[in-house]
Amino acid sequence: MRAAQGLFLNTLVWASLLPLLVPGLACAHPSAQGTAGELSFEGSLPVEYAPARMQLLFLKSTTGYPLRLEVSHERILHLFIVGEDLDAFAHLHPEDFPDGMGESAAGTYKFAYAFPGAGRYALVADYTIGGVEALEAVNISVAGTHPLREPVRDLRRTKRFGAYSVSIAAPTVIEAGTPAQIDYHIEREGVPVTDLQMYLGAEMHVFIADENLTDFGHTHPYVPGHGLHAGNMTQRYIGPTVPVRYTFRNPGTYALFAQFRESGQVTTTKFLVEVAPERPAASGGLRVAVACAGAVLLCALGYALSRRRKGRGTQAAGPAVSPPQNH
């Protein structure tokens, strides 16, 4: 699955319900064009530690009618929250809350979350329309006296998460614009895990966010022949290895939050990876010229070797006879 980038929840609505436009980029997928996503908080602005009640409203901007979201991976809407420390993380759904779906017919979905510190957070909504997945995101500021810390640059590829030892096998150099093979290996108390359970219609969910909180993605285990993973999947992997394929759009540092379930327990992991700039590709004309030059060189070498073999054979049989020459 490719990355989705940008700030797409077009309007941020505060407690006063006065719209404050959030600058951003175009929507990640054409199906999301023409939507008007709004985020609002009930009561005061979000403050650290205090449960914040929020709602997302999805309307078609051309008609004002509610968007018809479709269930994907067992939920109507996935809301990801990640802090600027690249440590605070949540994966929420309106179905998780008693009143989360109460106004869904009007395009409104409700959530609650206690932000673990003051600072900047990205809220990323993942939804499906017409069988096509779309991501929309917005950055917000949370008030408080205990700011999130600076991201810790931990590039280790083996870490411990509770009872699990998890490692990722990835290219030494991950290049932007090139599909990256990232394989997760999971062990529990030194024993490879071989009984992974499906979690929300997949063996694993992987949410990706860059260090600037401007580039995001949500993907699942690799299925040969399928680039997109909308809808529930059939279980293919039980562990200990779960393969993931992902194409990073831009260079930089990215956090990979992966979630899996075993014995009914969901575990969240986090790894940081560095993505290098995409190498400039040679122009078409240059590639053709190089190919032609190589072909000519190979032909010349073959001809020279052939002549040399023939010459050696003539010398063994007798004196070489020079071909007639015209003067």
- 220 plus 124 within the same structural domain: no
Burial (0-12, 13-18, 19+ Cβ within 10 Å), 191: exposed
State the residue range of the domain holding 103.
4-142
- 132 plus 14 within the same structural domain: yes
- Rounded CA-CA distance 108/134 in Å is 17
Q: 303 in a domain, yes or no?
A: no
- 175 plus 258 within the same structural domain: yes
Could you tell me the mean pLDDT of each successive run of 10 residues in the chain, 327 residues long? 40 30 30 63 91 93 88 96 98 97 96 98 93 90 97 97 98 96 97 98 97 96 71 88 97 98 98 95 49 47 44 35 32
Place of tokens 């939050």: 257
- 136 plus 9 within the same structural domain: yes
Residue 1, pLDDT score:
42
Supply the CATH number for residue 73's domain.
2.60.40.10
Look at residues 221, 215, 226 and name the one whose alpha carbon lies nearest to residue 200: 221
Using CA atoms, how far residue 134 sits from 102, 130, 195, 297, 320, in Å, is 23, 10, 31, 51, 77
Residue 205, pLDDT score:
97
Q: 285 in a domain, yes or no?
A: no
**Last-in-domain residue among 252, 276, 300:** 276
- 121 plus 164 within the same structural domain: no
Place of tokens 């560095």: 274
Place of tokens 């329309």: 129
- Rounded CA-CA distance 209/196 in Å is 25
- 126 plus 178 within the same structural domain: no
Residue type, position 109, single letter: Y
- 115 plus 181 within the same structural domain: no
Supply the CATH number for residue 245's domain.
2.60.40.1930
Q: 272 in a domain, yes or no?
A: yes
Q: 152 in a domain, yes or no?
A: no
The upper half-sphere exposure of residue 65, i.e. CA atoms within 13 Å in the direction of its Cβ, equals: 4
End-to-end CA distance of the chain: 71
Paired sense of beta strands 215-219 and 205-210, if any: antiparallel
Q: pTM value?
A: 0.78
Q: Which two tokens stand for residue 143?
A: 């008030």
- 126 plus 165 within the same structural domain: no
- 253 plus 197 within the same structural domain: yes
In the three-class reduction of DSSP (H, G, I as helix; E, B as strand; rest coil), residue 158 is classed as: strand
Residue 111 phi/psi, 5-degree rounding, is: -140, 165
Based on the structure, what is the number of domains in the chain? Answer: 2
